[in-house]
């Protein structure tokens, strides 16, 4: 365990490499999803199952990820950020070994659920750690820096998975996840600071938790702002979930060609995060979000127009993904910090609830919307554009609601009689 005064030292001068460590924790999610996508046909053949049942291993992971993500923040608010992350990493390592050893699709479902239960701790609690240590522009810069480093994972994960399944087999993918997690666990044990001192922790009891969750989920501003991030991400995750069909059937590529989709996708995330890092403290959050939505809607509209008149082809079918994720990465950091600032005394739970809304929507996209739309690249493009349009509507609704509340407060104050 860290020394008691480590919280104070971290607040004044964060440990060297904190951004890299938090990014490595956040990478666990993309590695869990994207690395094994190229192995779907091999898993289907080895376990003598159907393509739909293999697809449901992703859905099982996403649903368990979303449900447990509600609790990571509450646990960290009560027992400390560091303890919960270390425990979750240990569970994920065991689950990865289980996935590598299964001989039936049912056991793979079970161990994927166990991975989903533990994989979200790093990304949720990492956001709370950033906000514990920093505020304003420094928080936005650190969050964008973490995003820049983290963005490498979705690019290399499917490529790495394709190489592993081609050179070895699909079980080696889960052995890779085990090794990665074990190294990350050792790193966190030595270097991860505790950013929440004991005197600031919340009680972990049913009444307190029910009150805090009810408070968050009854907040219209929470749903409007968290929904903005969730629907933008849903537009990306629609293509992530449909990647096996999009790459192999629509574009006619092989299992080791997933880089055609994921490299431009992650390139947009990286350069968008880099842009936010430079804009933090220079432009207000509202202006940054407006710029981001110009790219989101422009990319979505261009994608729909191209596929309305032309068949899928490289590079035109993947180019809009770069501009979509560029815009998404400009919008996300500022809006995420606004969500956390709605509930400053329970940031862990707020981060959990925000991630829960995003992940539950992603699970619906993976299990229902992606299979329904993946039959055509045009319908995928329409689905992505619709997600961005809904996100914009939520953002505008949030601004209108916030301004209305401010006017009500001013009017109420002016109505108070002077003595």
pLDDT tens digits, the chain, 419 residues: what are they?
A: 343 333 433 444 444 477 788 888 888 888 888 788 888 888 888 888 888 888 788 888 878 887 888 888 778 877 888 888 999 999 999 999 999 999 888 899 999 999 998 888 887 888 778 777 776 667 777 777 777 676 677 667 777 888 888 888 889 999 999 999 999 999 988 888 777 777 777 777 778 888 888 889 899 999 999 999 999 999 998 988 888 888 888 888 876 677 788 788 888 888 888 888 777 777 788 888 999 999 999 999 999 999 999 988 888 988 999 999 999 989 988 888 888 888 877 777 888 888 888 878 887 887 789 888 888 899 999 999 999 999 999 999 988 887 777 666 555 555 545 45
Counting DSSP H helices and E strands in the chain, the numbers are 19, 0
Half-sphere exposure (Cβ direction) of 14: Cα atoms closer than 13 Å: 17
Contact 327, 300 (CB under 8 A): no
The backbone torsions φ and ψ at residue 103, rounded to the nearest 5 degrees and listed phi first, read -130, 15
**Gap between the Cα atoms of 171 and 71, Å rounded:** 30
Secondary structure (3-state) at 312: coil
What residues contact 372, with CB distance under 8 A and at least 6 apart?
Answer: none
Contact 146, 126 (CB under 8 A): yes
Burial class for 408, CB neighbours closer than 10 Å (0-12, 13-18, 19+): exposed
Secondary structure (3-state) at 280: strand
Q: What pLDDT, on a 0 to 100 scale, did the predictor assign at position 255?
A: 65
In the chain, what's the furthest Cα-to-Cα distance?
A: 82
**Gap between the Cα atoms of 63 and 174, Å rounded:** 19
Where do the H-state alpha helices sit in 310-367?
A: 319-341, 347-364
Q: What pLDDT, on a 0 to 100 scale, did the predictor assign at position 13?
A: 43
Where do the H-state alpha helices sit in 151-219?
A: 152-167, 171-191, 206-217
Q: What pLDDT, on a 0 to 100 scale, did the predictor assign at position 394?
A: 94
Q: 13-406 adopts what CATH topology?
A: Growth Hormone; Chain: A; (1.20.1250)
Half-sphere exposure (Cβ direction) of 372: Cα atoms closer than 13 Å: 8
Q: What pLDDT, on a 0 to 100 scale, did the predictor assign at position 1?
A: 38
Q: What pLDDT, on a 0 to 100 scale, did the predictor assign at position 183?
A: 93
The reported pTM is 0.72
Secondary structure (3-state) at 283: strand
User: Which among 158, 65, 48, 44 is positioned nearest to 112, based on CA atoms?
Assistant: 65
What residues contact 186, with CB distance under 8 A and at least 6 apart?
Answer: none
Residues in the chain: 419
Half-sphere exposure (Cβ direction) of 362: Cα atoms closer than 13 Å: 27
* Residue whose tokens read 């301004």: 403
Secondary structure (3-state) at 330: helix
280, β-bridge pairs: 283
Q: What pLDDT, on a 0 to 100 scale, did the predictor assign at position 354?
A: 86
What residues contact 246, with CB distance under 8 A and at least 6 apart?
Answer: 239, 261, 374, 377, 380
Cα dist from 273 to 130, 267, 276, whole Å: 16, 10, 5
């Amino acid at each position: 365990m860290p020394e008691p005064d480590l919280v104070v030292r971290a607040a004044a001068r964060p440990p060297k490499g904190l951004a890299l460590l938090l990014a490595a924790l956040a990478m666990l999610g993309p590695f869990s999803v994207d690395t094994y996508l190229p192995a779907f046909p091999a898993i289907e053949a080895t376990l003598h199952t159907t393509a739909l049942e293999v697809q449901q291993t992703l859905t099982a992971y996403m649903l368990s990820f979303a449900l447990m993500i509600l609790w990571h923040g509450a646990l960290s608010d009560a027992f400390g950020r560091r303890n919960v992350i270390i425990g979750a990493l240990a569970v994920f390592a065991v689950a990865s070994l289980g996935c590598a050893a299964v001989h039936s699709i049912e056991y793979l479902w079970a161990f994927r659920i166990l991975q989903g239960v533990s994989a979200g701790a790093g990304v949720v609690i990492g956001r709370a750690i950033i906000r514990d240590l920093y505020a304003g522009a420094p928080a936005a810069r650190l969050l964008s820096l973490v995003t820049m480093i983290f963005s490498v994972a979705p690019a290399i994960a499917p490529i790495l998975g394709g190489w592993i399944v081609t050179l070895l087999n699909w079980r080696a993918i889960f052995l890779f996840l085990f090794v990665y997690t074990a190294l990350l666990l050792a790193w966190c044990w030595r270097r991860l600071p505790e950013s929440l001192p004991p005197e600031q922790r919340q009680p972990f009891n049913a009444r307190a938790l029910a009150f805090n969750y009810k408070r968050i989920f009854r907040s219209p501003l929470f749903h409007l702002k968290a929904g903005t991030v969730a629907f933008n991400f849903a537009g990306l995750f629609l293509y992530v979930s449909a990647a096996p069909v999009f790459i192999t059937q629509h574009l006619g590529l092989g299992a080791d060609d997933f880089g055609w989709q994921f490299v431009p996708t992650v390139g947009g995330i990286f350069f968008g995060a880099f842009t936010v890092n430079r804009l933090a403290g220079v432009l207000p959050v509202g202006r940054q979000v407006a710029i981001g939505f110009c790219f989101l809607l422009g990319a979505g509209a261009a994608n729909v127009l191209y596929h309305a008149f032309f068949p899928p082809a490289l590079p035109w079918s993947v180019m809009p993904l770069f501009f979509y994720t560029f815009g998404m990465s400009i919008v996300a950091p500022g809006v995420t910090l606004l969500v956390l600032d709605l509930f400053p005394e329970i940031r862990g739970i707020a981060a959990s609830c925000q991630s829960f809304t995003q992940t539950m929507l992603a699970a619906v996209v993976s299990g229902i919307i992606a299979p329904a739309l993946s039959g055509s690249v045009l319908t995928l493009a329409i689905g992505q554009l619709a997600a961005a349009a809904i996100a914009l509507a939520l953002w505008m609704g949030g601004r209108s609601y916030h301004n209305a509340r401010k006017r009500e407060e001013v009017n109420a104050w002016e109505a108070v009689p002077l003595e």
